[in-house]
Structure 1
Amino acid sequence: MNDYSTLIHQASMGILVLFSLVTWAVLIAKWIQLVKLRRQNQRYAERFWSTANFNTSVTAQEHQGQLARLANATHLALSKGREGPCPVDGWSRQEVLERSLQKQIHGERHLMEHGMIVLASIGSTAPFIGLFGTVFGIIHALQAISTAKSASIAVVAGPIGDALIATGIGIAVAVPAVLAYNFLGRRLKLMIADLESFALNLMNRAQRHGFELGDGHATETQRQLSGAA
C-alpha cells in the first residue's frame, strides 16, 4: 500500500504539471490565432470599404481572414443564384445569401472555439486531481509516521506538508486555465459580434445592388429596361 500511495501521489503531480504546460500552450496558440485573425480582418475591411464595385469587393480569393471568407461566401451564393437553367429571383437569392453567411459564421465560431474545452476541463478538474494526490500523500505520510513510531511535530510536519503541496499545485494550475478561458471567451464573443456586423453590411450592400454581382448602375439600367418592355 505504501508503494501504491507514493505512485498515485507522484502520478497526480505529473498530471498537474502536464495540465499546466497544456494550459499555457493553448493560451499562447489561441492568442496568436486571434491576433492573426484580427490583422487579416483589418486589412480586408480596409480593402472592402475602399472598393466601389460590389463584385470586386466580394472577390477576395487572394485575401485571408474571416471577413474575406464571408465575402467569398457572398460571392459564391450570389453566383449560384444567377447560374443554371432557372436563375432564382431576388428574394430567393437573399435567402440563399443569408443561409450562406450564417453557415460561414458558424464555421468561424467552431474554428475559434477549438481548444477552449481543454481550458475549461483543466480549470474544473485540476483542483480535484491535486486533492486526490494530497489524499494519497497523506496516507503515505501516516504510514511513514506509523513506521517511525513517533507523532512529534518534527516527524509529522514534513510528510504532511509534502502531501498538501499537491492541492496547492492543483489550484495554481486551475487558476490560469480559468482566467485564460474567460479572457479568450470574451475575445471570441467580440469577434463573433464583428462577424455578424460585417455580415449585415454585406447583406445591406448586396440589397442595394439587387443581390446581383454586377455594378449597381448596370443593375438599375436593366430594371428600367425591363419595366419599359
Structure 2
Amino acid sequence: MPTHISPEVIIDGTLYTLLIFSVATWTVILFKIWEFANNSYRNRRFHAAFWDAADLAQAETVSSDAVAIGPQARIAQKGFAWLNESRLSDGKHLKYCGAPADLLEQAMLEQMQQEQHRMESGLTMLASIGSTAPFVGLFGTVLGIMHAMHEITASGSTSLDVVAGPIGDALVATAIGIAVAVPAVLAYNFFLRRVKQHRAGLENFVASFLHIVFGADGKDKE
C-alpha cells in the first residue's frame, strides 16, 4: 500500500462505494417495479379494448389512446403505420417488396425488440453490482486487516483484545458487500423472469395481429 495514502481513506472509500451501490440498486428496483406494474396495467387496458373493437379501423384508434399506450399499443401502432405506408407506396419502394406478412412481422418484431430493451434497462447494473459488491467488500476487508496488522505490530501486543477488535471491524466491509449484493442478485433474477413473461405476451400479440390482418390464407383482409 502506498505510504502517502492513508489506509482509512481507502477503507472509507470502499464503504462509500458500497453505499453508492446500495442506493443505485434500490433506485433501480423501485423504478423497475413501477415500470413493470405500469406496463402490465396499460397492456391489460389495451388488450381488452383492442379485442373489443369491431374492426381494424376501430382497433387502430384504440392503439392511439393515451391511457392505454404501453408496449402492446406501441407494437400495434408500428403495425398499423406499416400497413398504411405499404398501401400508399403501392409497391414502389424496395422495403415493401416481398411477402407482406413477413415484412409486417419483421417491422413489429423490431418494435418488440425495442420494448424488450426498455424492459431490460437497468438489469445490467443490477447484475454488475451483484457480482462485484462482495469483492469490493472483500477488498475493504483485506485493506482493513492489513492496516490492523500494522497497528498491532507497532503496538507490540498480540493479546486477543488488541487483535480481535481491528480485525472484526475490517470484516464489516465484507458483510456490507454481501448485504448489497444479495438484493441486487435477487432483483435481477426476478426482473429477468418478468421480462421473459412480458416478451411471451408480446410475441402472442404479434402472432394474433398478423392473423387478423392477413388471415389464415395470408391475404390482407382489407
**What is the number of residues matched between the two proteins?**
214
Structure 1 residue 168: Cα displacement: 0.7
Q: Is the 8 A contact 1:2 1:140 kept in 2?
A: no
Structure 1 residue 154: Cα displacement: 0.6
Helix, strand or coil at the partner of 2:54: coil
Match of 1:50 in 2: 52
Distance 2:114 2:26 in 1: 25
Percent of aligned pairs with the same residue?
A: 40
1:79 and 2:81 matched: no
Match of 1:41 in 2: 43
Q: 1:144 aligns with which of 148, 151, 158?
A: 151
Q: What CA deviation, in whole Å up to 9, does each residue of 1:85-104 have, x standing for no partner?
A: 54699963212211111101
Q: 2:198 aligns with which of 173, 191, 194?
A: 191
Which amino acid in 2 is paired with 1:26?
Answer: V
Match of 2:65 in 1: 62
TM-score (norm 1): 0.87
Compared CA separation, residues 86 and 168, structure 1 to 2 (3 A): closer
Distance 2:45 2:51 in 1: 11
Distance 1:199 1:86 in 2: 23
Q: Is the 8 A contact 1:120 1:178 kept in 2?
A: yes
Q: What CA deviation, in whole Å up to 9, does each residue of 1:19-54 have, x standing for no partner?
A: 011101100001100000000000000101100211
Q: Is the 8 A contact 2:60 2:77 kept in 1?
A: yes
Structure 1 residue 84: Cα displacement: 2.5
Q: Is the 8 A contact 2:91 2:97 kept in 1?
A: no
The range that moved more, 97-106 or 55-64, is 55-64
Q: 1:4 aligns with which of 3, 6, 9?
A: 6
Unaligned ranges ≥5, structure 2: none
Which amino acid in 2 is paired with 1:66?
Answer: P
Distance 1:73 1:138 in 2: 59
Structure 1 residue 128: Cα displacement: 0.5
Runs (4 or more) in structure 1 with deviation over 4 Å come to 87-91, 209-212
Structure 1 residue 77: Cα displacement: 1.0
Which residues in structure 2 correspond to 1:80-229 (within 5 Å)?
Answer: 80-84=85-89, 86=91, 92-208=99-215, 212=220, 219=222
Aligned-residue RMSD, C-alpha = 2.0
Q: What CA deviation, in whole Å up to 9, does each residue of 1:113-151 have, x standing for no partner?
A: 111100000000001000100011011111111222111
Structure 1 residue 208: Cα displacement: 2.6
Compared CA separation, residues 43 and 62, structure 1 to 2 (3 A): same
Q: Is the 8 A contact 1:123 1:173 kept in 2?
A: yes
TM-score (norm 2): 0.90
